[in-house]
Amino acid sequence: MRTAGSIQLLAAVLLAARATTMAFIDDAPRRQAAGLARYRTTDHARRFRLGEPRSFRDAIAVLSSQSTSEGQNFYNDFDDDDGRSRGAAASSSPLGDNYNDDDDADFLASLRRRRELLRNSSRELLGRWTSGSASSRVGFTVNESFYEGGGGTGGGMASFDWVRRVSIGSYPRVACGSASGGVFVADVESGKLLGSAPRAHWPSSSSSSSSSFSSSSDGSDDEDEDLLAKDEDLIRLLYGDYDGGGVLAVALTCGAGTDDLIASAGREGGIKLHRWIRRLQSSSRMTGEGIDELELLGSIRMGGDGNDDAVVTCLRFDSLGRRLYAGGGDGRLTILTFEKEDDIVGGMRKMQIPSWMSSSLYSRRSKKGKASPQSWSASPILSLDYSEALGMLATAHANGDVRVYSLDANDERFDDSVALPLLGVWNPFADTNDACHARSVAFVSCGGEREGDNDDGNDDYPSWSIVAGGGNGRLWMQEIHPSHYVHGTTTASQTSTAKKTKNPNDNENRQRMISTPSTTPQLFRENSMQQVKPSHRGPVLSMTSRPGGILISAGHDGMLRVSCLSKPVPRALYGLGGYKVWIGSICVDDEGKRLLSDGRDDVVVVHDFSKDDEG
């Protein structure tokens, strides 16, 4: 006879075994994708291939089959004290006769309910984006010290500043640049400024504080100069008639476990790296309170020979915060890989795609808009976007090109120490009467939310599109096929046509590959190019997107336009007004719930689509 205590112990073991098995089932797809499941034994690690269990009972059988050898951490909890089994009926399933097929049905029904709940939540959020149901508020101001000091510039008090460029990390953490060249990190939920580097970059050639800026902020004794001021053509391409000064680009790492790195680019050229840290005060070590600040890690020169510098126009971190993509005004695409946590800059690996590989030649124009035949150069990169899901990077160029590269390591042409495989080139602005530069670019996921997609693998509706915003305010979209190139099945001859030419400024008359604007079936869906209307008035300065085919674009007209690309014909949904011509960047958080932007003087604006507007 077993005592009541033994029965209670047995019941507890049964519940624990069932919980362990459920966790095993829930985790099976991930381990199946990895190809191997690893379980440690007392003296060695065993490896075995694992198929996904078709039912709860199958999972029990798998566990039982892997738990027979002595010394493993999977063992029979139901042996008698003398080590003998209780019989075939008991050993056939650790749960014994109390388990039945109804448990399978209940468990699967629970999974289906959970999946349907998540789908409904996703559809509801997408519906709020579609209808414009959001709560809008100020996230934070860069003039916290200005207001605390009572305003004004006398007596050593802080002067008023303006937000220029925004990047979002792990929400609610946000980084931004300023017109005076500062870099800031803040929490937009609490409205608290977490750290700042007020004089990280050159402000602008017209700023009264330009003469006071020195590269001493990064530990150098040499005086920096405003490289962008020497390139009036690049200023015009970036900002048209409204150059707000200050920081050109900023990027903040995102995702759990990243190092809170902030990369920023200024008019003096190159990149500065900061890290947000909290220094604990000796009096409050137990409470975790301390002083938040930005620690300068170093500066990175971006010139082709490693000594000269070049203006960086756009920046983007990958999701792990270990790789930084940078587009240059000299036409170079640079990839910085940070391999050492204890020496971010010193342990950095830099790969630059030469300008003649990354862009076509570009004829710079005078103020009157006339081409200068003797001023051919590599086409500046004005914007870039990165899609981890696709394994792609896209760049927008001054000559109107949108160039798409593969970041897929399985691509047979991939070699991140030399160059990235070029998947294709698209120029939607070349054949128009109003030829212009490609000012911005964005990938848009239409995913399972696209009309007609029933999650049955139907390929009648594409999953992804790429959108180019022009200096003339027009937006063009092109549908792409991830399945054709994500595993490196294309070859160099399939991606784009090319012709040989000579650079008029190349004294050695070296042959340059100039990609002819083309649409390849391997990358772009045939005859899929469409215009996204209405157009902006003035350049499309920034674009971002979220799943469900939602595209947000910003221009000099002070309007944030929200469009839906998940229909056969793209349609405008609504606009968010009240912004100024100085708007320069917009971004969406990883959850797809919030839209952040600059363009409202000294504040970062948050539109939260997971909440109703209380006003």
Per-residue pLDDT at 235 exceeds 80: yes
Quick: pLDDT tens for 459-469. 444 489 999 99
Q: Which residue has the tokens 């937009």?
A: 188
pLDDT tops 70 at residue 527: yes
Task: Kindly report the backbone phi and psi dihedral angles of residue 101, in degrees, each rounded to the nearest multiple of 5, phi listed first.
Answer: -65, -20
Check whether 327 has a pLDDT greater than 80: yes
The total of other beta-carbon atoms located within 10 Å of residue 542's CB is: 26
Q: What is the pLDDT of residue 435?
A: 87
CB count within 10 Å of CB 517 equals 19
- Whether 196 has a pLDDT exceeding 50, the answer reads yes
CA distances from 436 to 71, 439, 466, 468, 472 (A): 71, 9, 18, 12, 6
Is the confidence at residue 232, as pLDDT, over 80?
Answer: yes
**Between 261 and 56, the higher pLDDT residue:** 261
DSSP per-residue letters across 358-373: HS-EEEEE-TTS-EEE
- 23 vs 18: CA distance, rounded Å: 9
Q: Is this structure's pTM higher than 0.85?
A: no
Angle of CA points 515, 516, 519, to nearest 5°: 105
User: For position 28, what pLDDT does the model report?
Assistant: 44
CB 258, CB 169: distance < 8 Å = yes
Query: What gap in Å lies between CA 469 and CA 552, rounded to an integer?
Result: 11
What are phi and psi for residue 261, nearest 5 degrees?
-85, 140
Higher pLDDT, 341 or 39: 341
215 versus 540: the higher-pLDDT residue is 540
Over its C-alpha atoms, the chain yields an Rg (Å, rounded) of: 28
Span 158-181, average pLDDT? 94
Provide the greatest CA pair distance for the chain: 101
How far apart, in whole angstroms, are the C-alpha atoms of residue 15 and residue 34?
A: 29
Structure confidence at residue 97 as a pLDDT band (50, 70, 90): low
* pLDDT tier, 181 (very low <50, low <70, confident <90, very high otherwise): very high
Tell me the HSE value of 345 on the side-chain side, using a 13 A CA sphere.
15
Confidence check: pLDDT of 367 > 70: no
- The burial class, CB within 10 Å (0-12 / 13-18 / 19+), for 70 is exposed
Mean pLDDT calculated for residue range 494-498: 34
Residue 575 and residue 553: Cα distance in Å, rounded? Answer: 10
pLDDT at residue 348, as a whole number: 84
3-class secondary-structure state, position 45: strand
| More reliable by pLDDT, 342 or 286 | 342
